[in-house]
């Protein structure tokens, strides 16, 4: 009979150990895991978008390569070299990052007769969507909020800056009448958008 008693005690001991083991696991899941989930979520919200590489505007059939640009000697934003690419102001925010990211592109016909990437930008309306793809393959969507026209000498602070803590993408191009002497157009068209 002694072996049977030992077997019962052994089974009871194993059962108690299993109960304690599972109790520790449950305790860990309840107490510690939510904190780890919270920390992971906090880290994911601070994700920084990659360098933008492509701009898509389905409504006006734009699918353009994005080139990083800076400023000219006179302090104005550089424009991309060719008619079909767009320039991203690399000294400012990245598209999808809090702040105002700015992209410019040409308007009008070139000497070759070729049109420019933003010839139809004036056809956009409030609610239209714009997409930016970054070097990591992530795509951020933006929705047109408002459309304004500026004089070339007008203060453009609001185009490059925002203080609402949200992500914006602003598109700039020329419009109006061509000034042959100054080699520029009479106005600047700006499309203001908000991250979806």
Q: Please report, for the chain, the start and end positions of each structural domain, with discontinuous segments joined by +.
A: 2-45, 52-195
Q: In this predicted model, what pLDDT tens digit does every residue of 49-90 receive, in sequence order?
A: 899 999 999 999 999 999 999 999 988 899 998 899 999 999
Structure tokens at 99: 């702040």
Q: Report the mean per-residue pLDDT for the chain.
A: 83
**137 secondary structure, DSSP code:** S
Q: Name the 3-class secondary structure at 180.
A: coil
Q: Extract the tokens encoding 162.
A: 């925002």
Task: Please tell me what DSSP assigns to residue 125.
Answer: -
Cα angle for residues 11, 13, 19 (degrees, 5° grid): 100
Q: Contact, 169 vs 105, CB < 8 A?
A: no
The 3 state secondary structure assigned to 37-104 is: HHHHHHHHHCCCCCCEEEEEEHHHCEEEEEEEECECCCCCECCCCCCCCEEEECCCCCCCCCEEEEEE
CATH of span 52-195: 2.40.260.10
Q: What is the mean pLDDT of residues 1-9?
A: 52
pLDDT of residue 75: 87
List Cα–Cα distances, 124 to 85, 109, 147, 165, in angstroms.
19, 20, 8, 25
DSSP, collapsed to helix, strand or coil, labels residue 163 as coil
Mean pLDDT of 82-106: 96
b (16+ CB within 10 A) / e for 101-133: bbbbbbbeeeeeeeebbbbbbeebeeebebbbb
Summarize pLDDT for 164-196 with one digit per residue, the tens. 999 999 999 999 888 888 778 889 999 999 999
Do the Cβ atoms of 56 and 130 come closer than 8 Å? yes
How many other C-beta atoms can be found within 10 angstroms of the C-beta atom of residue 86?
26
Residue carrying the six token digits 């899941």: 29
Q: Among 47-56, 59-68, 97-106, 132-141, whose mean pLDDT is lowest?
A: 47-56
């Amino acid at each position: 009979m002694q072996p049977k008693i030992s077997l019962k005690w052994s089974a009871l001991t194993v059962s108690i150990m299993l109960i304690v083991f599972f109790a520790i696991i449950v305790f860990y899941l309840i107490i510690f895991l939510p904190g780890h989930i919270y920390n992971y979520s906090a880290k994911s919200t601070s994700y920084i978008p990659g360098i933008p590489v492509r701009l898509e505007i389905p409504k006006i059939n734009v699918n353009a390569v994005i080139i990083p640009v800076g400023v000219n000697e006179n302090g104005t934003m550089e424009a991309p070299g060719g008619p079909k690419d767009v320039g991203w102001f690399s000294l400012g925010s990245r598209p999808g990052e809090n702040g105002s990211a700015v992209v410019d592109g040409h308007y009008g016909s070139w000497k070759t007769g070729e049109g420019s990437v933003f010839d139809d930008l004036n056809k956009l309306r409030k609610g239209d969507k714009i997409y930016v793809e970054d070097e990591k393959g992530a795509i951020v969507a933006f929705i047109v909020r408002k459309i304004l026209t500026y004089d070339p000498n007008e203060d453009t602070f609001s185009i490059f800056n925002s203080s609402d803590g949200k992500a914006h993408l602003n598109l700039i191009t020329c419009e109006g009448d061509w000034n042959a002497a100054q080699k520029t157009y009479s106005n600047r068209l700006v499309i203001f958008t908000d991250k979806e």
